[in-house]
């Protein structure tokens, strides 16, 4: 009876409740899942914002070179501003998405002169092809500085009798912690002879190569120079060719333009595709063509046609104009890592808007960067955001302070940068020439005096600081117009990131 009574009581007891489930938090996501979500963020500024939300997110980005390569392959480097020639006035795309007047004026008065400086902007051509021209008030010496590479060219007072000196910063391989380098090229007006010297940030000294007496070009002081990955390239409009310095071997080679491009140097740009190979992109008759520098069976290189894209069908979805309308390229601006930056207009419509686009040479995907209601008839140079060094793992220690579980208040924008390697190279250049070798007298005479160099570096620093301040302002306010990053605090960071993460994760699980 007792057994039956106990059994009846046991059968009336409620079943045991299941164990309480532990809620999954955002901090429980694995690095692999985080990186899959990060890949679906819209652009590099959004990734920077996400990475500096907390230490685990920053580690997920820093610790994976394959992730960074995939992100670069999927996202064009963001366009921060366009600088008009010749006054370097800025068009800021983020200003079209923000009512904050600080965005539109982020790069105002970049070329404003200081009466106390020995250097002023060159009134005839203050800004051209990405270079700012400065002239010494006392000696009338003219130099040209590109803040984006950075590069410096010193022009002789007597162009036909004295040499030119060019200093170009070579981009380091951030993933492999390779040293920064500066290459100096001394040449005369006709390029009948040239000498190359290289400065390494690891060795902290110059290596000077023997002088080449082989005629390289029949160019003049208007030869256009650009730095593309492993090459320093000079375009000679008069000879329809490119002179390239291979920065692995420091040997010059001549690259003849294809027959169809000769005489049209203003309509093509030199760059590289995603695998790093040198390419040339040109526009002709509403068609964008890609040419690759390819060696033949004998090892002789030439430009070979790689791809062709009909612009009128590619951009119609963005411009919302009929296919039969006559589309044209307003400006072919830059080719970076397989992405082309350009603007399109409709040539028969004088009141046409101008659409600024990025175009992927691999997938033919077009993204609208921004739209101007009126066409700009002056050339423009893009200011492209590079991959922040603070998102690269550094064995010697982080460049950006991360405390606790969150990034420091300074975040990725206020990272303290080291002195530019170009400055160090310039300051040690003359010492490298003083070794009793009489053949280096030409470089010494063409170089700046100590007082000239010191005042020029101060003038360049003023420009660089103004550019960095404008960049930081665009990145702080432009990505989220209604919240200034300095005033957000940790809760604001979390709120911003959760919104971005939700949109990205929705696309992830939908796919």
Whole-number pLDDT of residue 453 = 93
pLDDT tens digits, one per residue of 127-175: 888 899 999 999 999 999 999 888 999 988 777 778 889 999 987 776 6
Q: Where are the chain's structural domains?
A: 27-69, 117-256, 421-426+433-479+492-506
At 307 the pLDDT is 94
Q: Specify the residue for token string 């299941």.
A: 18
- Kindly report the three-state secondary structure assignment for every residue of 386-438: CCCHHHCCCCCCCCCCEECCEECCCCCCCCCCCCCHHHHHHHHHHHHHCCCCH
Q: What does 32-98 look like in DSSP terms, one character per residue?
A: HHHHHHHTTSSSHHHHHHHHTTSHHHHHHHHT-HHHHHHHHHHSPPPEEEEEETTT--EE-GGGGG-
Give pLDDT tens digits along the chain (511 positions): 555 554 555 556 666 666 666 666 666 778 898 898 889 888 888 888 788 878 888 899 998 989 998 998 888 888 899 998 988 999 888 877 777 777 888 898 899 888 889 999 988 889 888 899 999 999 999 999 999 888 999 988 777 778 889 999 987 776 656 778 999 999 888 888 888 999 998 888 899 888 887 777 765 545 678 888 789 998 776 678 888 999 888 988 888 888 888 776 557 889 999 888 899 998 887 889 999 999 877 778 899 999 999 888 888 888 888 767 777 888 888 998 899 999 888 876 666 788 899 999 999 989 888 888 877 778 888 898 888 877 876 544 444 444 444 444 344 444 444 458 999 999 999 888 776 455 567 777 778 888 899 999 999 999 999 998 888 888 776 554 443 444 444 455 556 556 656 665 665 555 5
- Please give the pLDDT value at position 285: 78
* pLDDT tens digits, one per residue of 240-274: 888 899 988 898 888 888 888 877 655 788 999 98
Distance, in Å, from the CA atom of 445 to the CA atom of 162, rounded to the nearest integer, reads: 9
Sheet containing 327-336: order of strands = 327-336, 339-346, 354-360, 366-372
Cβ(182)–Cβ(421) below 8 Å: yes
pLDDT for res 413: 45
- pLDDT at residue 214, as a whole number: 76
Question: In the structure encoding, which two tokens stand for residue 146, read together?
Answer: 């590109």
- Report the half-sphere exposure of 106 (CA within 13 A, side-chain side): 27
Q: Is the dihedral of CA 236, 242, 246, 247 positive or negative?
A: positive
Determine the length of the chain.
Answer: 511
Q: Classify residue 145 by burial, with Cβ atoms within 10 Å: 0-12, 13-18, 19+.
A: buried
**What local confidence, expressed as pLDDT, does residue 508 receive?**
56
Spatial separation of the C-alpha atoms in residues 384 and 389, rounded to whole Å: 15
Q: Buried b vs exposed e over 355-380: b needs ≥16 C-beta within 10 Å?
A: bbbbbbbeeeebeebbebeebbeebb
Look up residue 445 and give its two tokens.
């005479």
Q: Which structure tokens are listed for 378?
A: 């002056």
Whole-angstrom distance, CA of residue 208 vs CA of residue 198 = 6
Per-residue pLDDT at 174: 61
pLDDT on residue 45: 83
Q: Rounded to the nearest 10 degrees, what angle do helices 31-38 and 55-62 cross at? A: 80
């Amino acid at each position: 009876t007792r057994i039956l009574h106990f059994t009846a009581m046991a059968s009336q007891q409620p079943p045991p409740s299941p164990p309480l489930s532990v809620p999954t938090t955002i901090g429980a996501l694995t690095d692999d899942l985080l990186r899959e979500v990060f890949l679906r963020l819209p652009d590099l500024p959004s990734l920077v914002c996400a990475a500096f939300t907390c230490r685990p997110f920053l580690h997920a980005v820093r610790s994976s070179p394959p992730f960074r390569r995939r992100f670069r392959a999927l996202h064009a480097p963001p366009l921060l501003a366009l600088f008009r020639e010749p006054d370097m006035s800025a068009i800021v795309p983020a200003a079209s998405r923000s009512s904050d007047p600080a965005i539109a004026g982020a790069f105002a008065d970049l070329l404003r002169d200081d009466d106390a400086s020995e250097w002023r902007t060159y009134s005839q051509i203050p800004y051209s092809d990405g270079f700012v021209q400065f002239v010494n008030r006392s000696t009338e010496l003219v130099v040209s500085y590109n803040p984006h590479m950075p590069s410096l060219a010193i022009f002789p007072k007597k162009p036909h009798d004295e040499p030119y000196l060019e200093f170009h910063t070579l981009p380091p391989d951030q993933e492999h912690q390779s040293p920064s380098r500066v290459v100096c090229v001394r040449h005369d007006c006709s390029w009948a002879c040239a000498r190359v010297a290289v400065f390494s940030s690891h060795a902290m000294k110059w290596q000077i190569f023997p002088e080449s007496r082989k005629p390289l070009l029949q160019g003049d002081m208007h030869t256009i120079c650009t730095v593309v990955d492993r090459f320093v390239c000079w375009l000679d409009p008069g000879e329809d060719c490119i002179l390239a310095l291979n920065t692995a071997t420091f040997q010059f080679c001549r690259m003849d333009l294809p027959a169809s491009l000769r005489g049209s140097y203003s309509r093509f740009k030199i760059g590289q595709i995603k695998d790093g190979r040198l390419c040339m992109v040109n526009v002709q008759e509403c068609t964008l063509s890609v040419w690759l520098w390819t060696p033949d069976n004998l090892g002789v290189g030439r430009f070979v046609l790689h791809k062709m894209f009909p612009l009128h069908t590619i951009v119609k979805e963005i411009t919302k104009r009929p296919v039969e309308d006559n589309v044209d390229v307003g400006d072919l601006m830059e080719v970076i890592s397989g992405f082309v930056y350009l603007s399109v207009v409709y040539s028969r419509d004088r009141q046409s808007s101008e659409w600024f686009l990025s175009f992927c040479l691999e997938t033919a995907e077009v993204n609208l960067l921004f739209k101007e209601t009126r066409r700009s008839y002056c050339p423009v140079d893009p200011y492209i955001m590079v991959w922040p060094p603070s998102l690269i793992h550094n064995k010697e220690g982080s460049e950006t302070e991360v405390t606790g579980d969150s990034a420091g208040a300074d975040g990725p924008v206020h990272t303290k940068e080291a002195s530019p390697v170009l400055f160090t190279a310039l300051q040690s250049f003359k010492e490298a020439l003083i070794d009793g070798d009489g053949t280096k007298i030409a470089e010494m005479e063409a170089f700046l005096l100590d007082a000239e160099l010191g005042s020029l570096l101060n003038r360049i620093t003023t420009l660089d600081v103004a550019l960095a301040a404008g960049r930081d302002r665009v990145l702080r306010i432009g990505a989220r117009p209604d919240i200034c990053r300095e005033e957000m605090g940790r809760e604001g960071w979390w709120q911003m990131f959760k919104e971005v993460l939700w949109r990205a994760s929705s696309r992830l699980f939908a796919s």
